[in-house]
Amino acid sequence: MSTLTGGDLNLVKPELTDDHKVTIGTDLPANFQKIDDEFSAHLAENVQQYEELKYSERSSTATNIDSEGIYKNIEWKRKDNTIYAKSTLIGTYPYPQIKIDYYYEDGTTIVKTITWDLTYDNNDFPYVREVI
């Protein structure tokens, strides 16, 4: 009779006397799914930690303040003082979009631009950011 490993994933450990149809048809796919899910979650966590670290190693400056007291631009710089990214609120208050330009290591060549539509709640805080 199959047993559970009791580890973090608690995988099914078949016995040699178990019905191979159950082992191959049920237990094995379930084990693979648990391993895949756990690996994917771990990978996503590592990517998120890396992204947070990238920004924690950047200095930032907010500029271009509007009449509402909102900074329309933020510029992030690397340790070597080259530009990493620039964000720009687009339009007029309440701003319907935000654009972020990401720069190559030289700090002058844009390698990627992402623009999001912004949706606001009743307190004028953005609560939906949708890539367009």
Question: Would the pLDDT of 24 be above 90?
Answer: no
Domain ranges of the chain: 3-55, 59-131
pLDDT score at 68: 86
**More confident of the two residues 13 and 75:** 75
Confidence of residue 100 (pLDDT cuts 50, 70, 90): very high
Confidence of residue 33 (pLDDT cuts 50, 70, 90): confident
CA distance 115 to 83: 18
